[in-house]
């Protein structure tokens, strides 16, 4: 059985929406797993895209419990 979250196919959280009529700006938060990291991206501004990215190393998928990164 494969997990779409730790396989990288689906975000754990995605609240980014198109709010601007002046461009393609999508403020909100994305949380996803990339290899052995839990990554968080927060976009805060619709006119001048401002964003913060942070990641933390994790050993197990928070959704299915699978050990990440092989053995």
Question: From the first residue on, what is the mean pLDDT of each consecutive set of 10 residues in the chain (71 residues)?
Answer: 84 82 76 94 75 93 89 58
From residue 26, alpha-carbon distances to 23, 47, 69 in Å are 9, 10, 31
Taking the complete model, does pTM exceed 0.75, yes or no?
yes
How big is the chain by its Cα radius of gyration, in Å? Answer: 14
Rounded to whole angstroms, the Cα distance separating 42 from 13 reads 11
The owner of tokens 């730790």 is 6
The tokens for 22 are 């002046």
Closest among 56, 50, 53 to 68, alpha carbons compared? 56
């Amino acid at each position: 059985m494969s997990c779409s979250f730790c396989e990288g196919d689906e975000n754990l959280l995605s609240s980014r929406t198109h709010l601007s009529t002046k461009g393609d700006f999508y403020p909100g938060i994305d949380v996803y797993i990339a290899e052995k990291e839990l990554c968080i991206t927060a976009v805060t501004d619709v006119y001048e895209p401002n964003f913060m990215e942070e990641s933390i190393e994790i050993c197990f998928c928070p959704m299915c419990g699978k050990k990440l990164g092989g053995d």
